[in-house]
Amino acid sequence: MREIFEAELKQVGDDLVEMSTLVVQAIDKAGRALLGANLALAQEVIVADQAIDSIEQDLDERCVLLLAQQAPVATDLRVVVSALRMSATLERMGDLARHIAEIARGRYPSPATPALRDTFEAMHEAATRAARRVEHVLTTHELEGAEEIERDDQVLDDLHQGTFAAMLGGTWEAGPQETVDVTLLSRYYERFGDHAVSIAHRVTFLVTGEFVNAAHSEPESGSND
């Protein structure tokens, strides 16, 4: 039984890594589509999101079967429950990349955020870096990566606050379309960072057994107000 369990658990872990690899590609392409007003790249992200959703469904089904057939307890059980949570988080990271690509597509052939291009370049870099670290942490279970993800998230939070400061500082001259786009894009990036941290905390918990307040690192909490 133990060997079967280990093999099935490995497959769950492989699925999570595969999802994270697709999320890296999605957020990288979405950002490049946004910054380069690249319609083809945006389309790729939108189409590829279905693959992420599909792995999530397979992974969830696999976890349910694993619970049913192996009835894991203690740490093993927590690994399976965490995998269910992390697959949902990765699926949402894919959705956020798709939303960014959808805005890039909607403004094509114009760039979506000419007034804050530098800010969104920095957001793109921090989000892509965080996604790569999520992939690395899920692959290796090395915890240094988890701490670095927190720093990427802090960068995203600061940039997010910066977009609001820019829009509300009294000198903002862009029209409503760009204001709407900046508001949504900034929020998507900020939440992408929250999700990355959520995964970092869950992996840390699985490795160390110590819960780094993962509930409060969930998406939505602590975001803009």
Q: Which residues bind a copy of itself (CB under 8 A)?
A: 53, 56-57, 63-64, 67-68, 71, 73-74, 77-78, 81, 84-85, 88, 91-92, 95-96, 99, 102-103, 105-106, 164, 167-168, 172, 176-177, 179-180, 183-184, 187, 215-216, 218-221, 223-225
Cis ω before 109 (30° cut-off from 0)? yes
- Minimum CB–partner distance for residue 197 and a copy of itself (Å): 15
CA distance 94 to 188: 11
- Minimum CB–partner distance for residue 113 and a copy of itself (Å): 14
CA distance 199 to 82: 9
- Minimum CB–partner distance for residue 157 and a copy of itself (Å): 15
- Minimum CB–partner distance for residue 122 and a copy of itself (Å): 20
Closest CB to a copy of itself among 7 and 68?
68
Closest CB to a copy of itself among 168 and 207?
168
CA distance 97 to 32: 11
Closest CB to a copy of itself among 21 and 183?
183
Tokens for 71, please give them: 């009835």
Closest CB to a copy of itself among 36 and 106?
106
Closest CB to a copy of itself among 145 and 214?
214
Closest CB to a copy of itself among 210 and 225?
225
C-alpha pair distances (Å), 119 with each of 31, 157, 158, 159, 215: 12, 12, 10, 7, 29
Residue 107 host element (H or E): helix 74-107
The full DSSP string for 7-28 is: HHHHHHHHHHHHHHHHHHHHHH
- Minimum CB–partner distance for residue 176 and a copy of itself (Å): 5
- Minimum CB–partner distance for residue 163 and a copy of itself (Å): 9
Whether residue 34 contacts residue 114, with contact meaning beta carbons closer than 8 Å, is answered with: no
